[in-house]
A = this chain, B = another copy of it.
Amino acid sequence: MTATAHETGASGPEPQSPGRRERKKQRTRDALVSAAFTLFAEKGFDATTVEEIADAVDVSSRTFFRYFASKEDVALTFQEEQTQAVVAALLSRPADEPIMTALRATVVGIARACENGELGFDPDRFECVLSMLSDSPALMAKSLERTQKKQNLMTRIIAQRLGVDPATDLRPHVIASAAMAGFNAAADAMRHHPETFVSVSETVDQAFAILEEGLNPDH
């Protein structure tokens, strides 16, 4: 237990080679994601089986499940990264900024980045996911579940920023929920009316504007 030089996890501050093993693992993982999206685009999410994905990469389906907890997982990998990006962006906002302003800027900023493919997000895959969400309840369910977890994280961050305790103060819960609502409303509108609402970032920005101004009972 002197050096523990391998560090299975991601922490490994090793500046040196991540090792051949790690690289191989990463390649397998990438190959699985890639093969999965090729098949998804071809035959749809439901019609694609885990075995097909695994076969395409020439690994056993058992191995697939060592990389991803479920078939849905492989389709939603980007959400994890996206969450990371949102958290990082939110934490980097000036501390004296009103919370809703910070949230709005953060979410709109990430949306814009996604649109431009500025982060590691392939717009094609993104679109593929959106269409799959529409006709695969199972995928939608998993996605919503992750969104929920994301919201819990946001609640904690917001509470810290406001300097209140989420155990006794309802505000961080409501604000996190509202922020999600802004995003969801936009996603919802775009899913059902793709002609009217075209730009993610713009739609989200509009949604936040309504949230901030239009919710007190003056119609």
Asked whether, in the complex, the Cβ of B98 is within 8 Å of the Cβ of A174, the reply is no
**A152, B98: Cα distance in complex, Å:** 31
Number of identical protomers: 2
Asked whether, in the complex, the Cβ of B144 is within 8 Å of the Cβ of A174, the reply is no
Would you call the interface of chain A mostly helix, strand, loop, or mixed? helix
- Name the B residues within 8 Å of A174 (CB-CB): 181-182, 185, 207, 210-211, 214
Interface residues on A, range: 35 or more
Asked whether, in the complex, the Cβ of A217 is within 8 Å of the Cβ of B212, the reply is yes
From B144, B170, B176, B185, contact of A170 by CB (8 A): B185
Q: Are A177 and B170 CB-contacts (below 8 A) given A145-B137, A216-B212, A217-B212? A: no
Interchain Cβ contacts under 8 Å between A and B, 10 examples: A100-B216, A137-B145, A141-B141, A141-B145, A144-B145, A152-B188, A170-B197, A173-B185, A175-B214, A181-B181
